[in-house]
Amino acid sequence: MRGLFSIITCSLILTACNYNDIKDPNAFGRSSNDKMTSPVSGQTTLSWNLIKTNVLRTCTTCHAGRTAPELGNLASVRQSINASQSSINSNAMPPSQSGYSALTDCEKGILDMWVRQGMPETSTATVSEVSACADQAPGSGQTPEPPLEEMPLTYQTVYSRILQPQCVRCHNIDDTTSAAGILFYPYEELMKKEKLWRAPGASSKLVKSLRRMDDKRMPPLKDGPGLTEKEIQFVIRWIDAGKPK
C-alpha cells in the first residue's frame, strides 16, 4: 500500500505543474555549475531553511501553494519526501524539458543527509559533513549570480532571471485563467504576442502592466512586490534592442 502511495505521489509531482518543451533545455534556468541562492559554506547547518531556500529553490517555484505536492512548508515536505526525493535523485525533477537542470550532487547530498536525520527544522550537522560537498571549504561563501545589468541582453536572460521566477507559474497552458493565453516560453510562443513587447519598451503594453499600482498589475499584487526597477529596465532595454534571442 505504501509503495502504491509513493507511485501516485510521484506521478503528481511529474504532472501537477506545467512544464512545456523548450527547444534548447540547456539554455535556460540553472546549470549544473550554478551556485546556491544564498551564501553557503562548510559551516552552514543542515536546516529546513537551507533545504527550502537553496536545495529545493527550483522546485518551490512551482510547488509552493499553487500545485501539488506542496513543498513550501516543512509539514508537507515530510509527508511527500519519499516520492519527491526519488524524482530528484533520478533527475526526473526538476524537469529538463522546461529548462531546469538537475540538482547538483552536493544539493542531493545535503537533502539526503537532512532526510536521514529525520528532516529537522534545525540541526548541528553541517555542509562540511556531506561528502559530495567536499569542495565547499568551511567559511568559503559561494559566488552569487552576476548582477542582472551585467547579464547578456538576450531572451535567455529575460526568461531565466525574470519570466521564469515571476511569470511562468501563471502563464502556462494548464492555468485556469486568461493567463494561459499568454505564454512566455519558448521564444516562439512569446513572439506570438509581439504586440505586448512592441518598442519603445518604456511605453509597451507589457511594461505598463508591470508598473501599474492597481489590481491589474503583473504579477498580481497578491503575489508579492512584483518586478524591481532594475528588472523592468532590463526588459525595456531588451525590447528596444529588438528582443534578441
Counting as low any pLDDT under 50, the low residues of the chain are: 1-37, 137-142
Q: Other CB atoms closer than 10 Å to residue 213's CB: what's the count? A: 8
For residue 221, what pLDDT is reported?
A: 85
Which pLDDT score is estimated for 205? 94
Q: d(Cα 28, Cα 155) in Å, to the nearest integer?
A: 9
Q: Cell triple for residue 129?
A: 559533513
What pLDDT does residue 234 have? 96
pLDDT (tens digit per residue) in 195-216: 999 999 999 999 999 999 888 8
**Separation of first and last alpha carbons in the chain:** 49
Q: Tell me what pLDDT residue 168 has.
A: 80
Q: Which of 128, 122, 106, 244 lies closest to 187, judged by CA?
A: 244
Query: Residue 184's pLDDT is what?
Result: 87
pLDDT at 54: 86
Identify the three-state secondary structure at position 152.
Answer: coil
- CB of 114 closer than 8 Å to CB of 46: yes
In whole angstroms, what is the distance from residue 56 CA to residue 72 CA? Answer: 9
**Cα–Cα distance for residue pair 54/189, rounded to 1 Å:** 30
The C-alpha cell of 210 is what? Answer: 508591470
The three-class DSSP label of residue 126 is strand
Find how far residue 226's CA is from the centre of its chain.
16
> Using the 8-state DSSP alphabet, how is residue 66 labeled?
T
Contacts of 132 (CB under 8 A, 6+ apart): 104, 105, 106, 108, 109
Strand partners, 45: 126
| Cβ pair 164, 100 in contact under 8 A | no
Instruction: Report the C-alpha gap between 155 and 193 in whole angstroms.
Output: 14
* Three-class SS state of 139: coil
Residues 133 and 106: beta-carbon distance below 8 Å: yes
Mean of per-residue pLDDT scores for the chain: 78
DSSP 160: I
Beta bridge partners of 126: 45
Which residue reads 534548447 in cell numbers?
24
CA distance 117 to 30: 28
Summarised one tens digit per residue, pLDDT across range 140-152 is 444 567 899 899 9
- Give the DSSP H or E segment for 128: none
